């Protein structure tokens, strides 16, 4: 029990080594513990050897705990350090190429003769630049592939709609084509250097041309709440019974009888025709024309500039007609196309663009 008796404050402020020495060599004396349990008294002998063993094991255990704690702390610190340097290099890699270059430039600009080159810093910057370059390359490859696939789909859409016109020429008509060269003159710093970038530029140009063609095809029906009473293509003539080519679609309406021009344009024909009855032909940009036949009345005159949705006439049954309906045609470069297919495809493509 001398251990407790001697453990006084002055001991704690001695140097740790001396304290450990003192505790380790502390002379214990044989002791006896008296336990009084409900009147029954028991004695436990605690020899000096056992007390020394207990005290020394306690010290060894405490030392072990300290060693484990310090070890753990050190590994945590080293982990945090590694993390911090990793984040630093990731942060560098996330930087734009320009910033990386300026970081490298700054490093050399601040370099003084006799100063030791920080190889790891330079290497890190160079690696970050190389990674950035590789990322850009694979991104360019992907963009180029996706654009090519998109353009293929758009081209296929046009051929399904029966539009065989040269997209380049059709797109050029009255349309400003947005290209990267165009963007460059507006102050963009995009300068295609790699083969991939040039490929992207060319695909973008094709994309713009194809989309310009799509924008020239009327997307909407000239009448609201319509039903197709006769489709485009071969059909038996209702008058002669012979197989005949139907160059447009016949539409009946459950809504109002107003016929609205499908796209902005100029009225080229407005008058009576033996077959078409009261008919209006509107010229749009890029060699596209729309024809509206069998009208009850005509609301426009030749030369009128009309906007998409303007009323050109009222649905009727004039000319070679068996009942009240609108005969609607779309022509591209003088070639008739199926208006129903064209409307469907154009609608779908507009979904891509919006």
List interacting residues with Zn ion (CB under 5 A). 250, 327
Select 124 or 250, whichever has its Cβ closest to Zn ion: 250
Q: How far apart are CA 93 and CA 96, in angstroms?
A: 8
Residues 6+ apart with CB under 8 A from 223: 251, 253, 255, 257, 258, 259, 260, 315, 326
Those residues whose C-beta lies under 8 Å from the C-beta of residue 231, and which sit 6 or more positions away, are 246, 249, 338, 340
- Cβ nearer to Zn ion, comparing 132 with 294: 294
Q: Which is nearer to Zn ion, 277 or 286 (CB)?
A: 277
- Least distance in angstroms from the C-beta of 246 to Zn ion: 6
Shortest gap between Cβ of 278 and Zn ion (angstroms)? Answer: 14
8-state DSSP, 25 = T
Q: How far is the CB of 308 from Zn ion (least distance, A)?
A: 22
Q: Answer yes or no: are the C-beta atoms of 146 and 174 closer than 8 Å.
A: no
Least distance CB 232 / Zn ion (angstroms): 9
CB of 309 to Zn ion, least distance (A): 22
CB-nearer residue toward Zn ion: 132 or 327: 327
Alpha helices in 178-327 (DSSP H): 180-185, 195-215
Closest approach, Cβ 294 to Zn ion, in A, equals: 8
Closest to Zn ion by CB, 95 vs 336, is 336
- Measured from the CB atom, is 284 or 327 closer to Zn ion? 327
Minimum distance, C-beta of residue 339 to Zn ion, in the bound complex (Å) = 11
Instruction: Give the CB-nearest residue to Zn ion.
Output: 327
E strands in the chain? 31-37, 40-46, 226-230, 233-236, 243-246, 249-253, 258-260, 265-273, 277-283, 288-298, 305-306, 311-315, 326-332, 335-337
Q: What is the bridge-based pairing of β-strands 233-236 and 305-306?
A: unpaired
- Is residue 170 classed as helix, strand or coil in its secondary structure? helix
């Amino acid at each position: 029990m001398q251990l407790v008796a001697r453990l006084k404050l002055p001991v704690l402020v001695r140097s740790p080594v001396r304290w450990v020495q003192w505790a380790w060599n502390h002379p214990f004396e044989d002791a006896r513990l008296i336990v009084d349990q409900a009147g029954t008294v028991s004695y436990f002998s605690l020899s000096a050897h056992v007390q020394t063993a207990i005290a020394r094991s306690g010290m060894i255990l405490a030392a072990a705990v300290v060693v484990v704690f310090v070890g753990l702390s050190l590994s945590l610190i080293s982990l945090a350090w590694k993390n911090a340097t990793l984040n630093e290099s990731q942060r560098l890699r996330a930087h734009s190429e320009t910033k990386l270059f300026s970081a490298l430039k700054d490093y050399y600009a601040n370099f003084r003769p006799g100063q030791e080159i920080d190889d790891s810093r330079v290497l890190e910057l160079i690696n970050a630049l190389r990674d950035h370059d590789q990322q850009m390359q694979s991104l360019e490859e992907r963009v180029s592939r996706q654009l090519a696939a998109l353009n293929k789909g758009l081209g296929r859409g046009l051929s399904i709609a029966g539009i065989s016109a040269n997209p380049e020429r059709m797109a050029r008509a009255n349309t400003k084509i947005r290209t990267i060269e165009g963007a460059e003159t507006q102050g963009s710093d995009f300068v295609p250097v790699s083969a991939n970038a040039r490929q992207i530029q060319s695909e973008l140009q094709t994309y713009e041309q194809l989309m310009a063609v799509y924008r020239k095809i009327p997307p909407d029906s000239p009448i609201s709440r319509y039903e197709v009473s006769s489709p485009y293509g071969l059909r038996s003539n209702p008058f002669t019974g012979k197989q005949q080519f139907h160059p447009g679609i016949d539409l009946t309406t459950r809504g109002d009888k107003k016929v609205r021009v499908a796209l902005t344009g100029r009225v080229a024909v407005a008058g009576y025709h033996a077959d078409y009855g009261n008919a209006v032909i509107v010229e749009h940009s890029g060699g596209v024309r729309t024809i509206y036949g069998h009208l009850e009345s005509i609301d426009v005159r030749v030369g009128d500039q009309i906007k998409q949705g303007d009323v050109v006439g009222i649905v009727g049954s004039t000319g070679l007609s068996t009942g009240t309906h609108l005969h609607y045609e779309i022509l591209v470069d003088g070639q008739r196309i199926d208006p129903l297919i064209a409307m469907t495809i154009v609608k779908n493509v507009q979904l891509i663009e919006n």
